[in-house]
Amino acid sequence: MWTVVYIAPNHAIAGMLKELLNNEGFVVMLRPVGPPHLGASGSVEILVPDSEAEEVLEIINSSIGDASV
């Protein structure tokens, strides 16, 4: 099963977080939220396997706190 660990405000930020997590060795899936007409400006859910969610959350919180994303 997959768990939503973060909802990015747009596709650009979701892409940066996905790249960061992929570089750390995690499998990441992105899923758009809301109406399809919003395109790249719409919110995006970041999902990871349930077993990796806690570790991924720590990485995301560290990255956002450091403003490196």
Does 54 score more than 90 pLDDT? yes
pLDDT at 55: 97
Q: What is the pTM of this model?
A: 0.85
Planar angle of CA 65, 4, 6, nearest 5 degrees: 20
What local confidence, expressed as pLDDT, does residue 41 receive?
82
Structural domains present in the chain: 2-66 (3.30.70)
Question: Could you give the CA distance from residue 59 to residue 20 in angstroms, rounded to a whole number?
Answer: 9
Residue found under tokens 């892409």: 15
pLDDT, tens only, 1-25: 999 999 999 999 999 999 999 999 9
β partners of residue 48: 3
Give burial (CB, 10 Å; 0-12/13-18/19+) of 17: buried
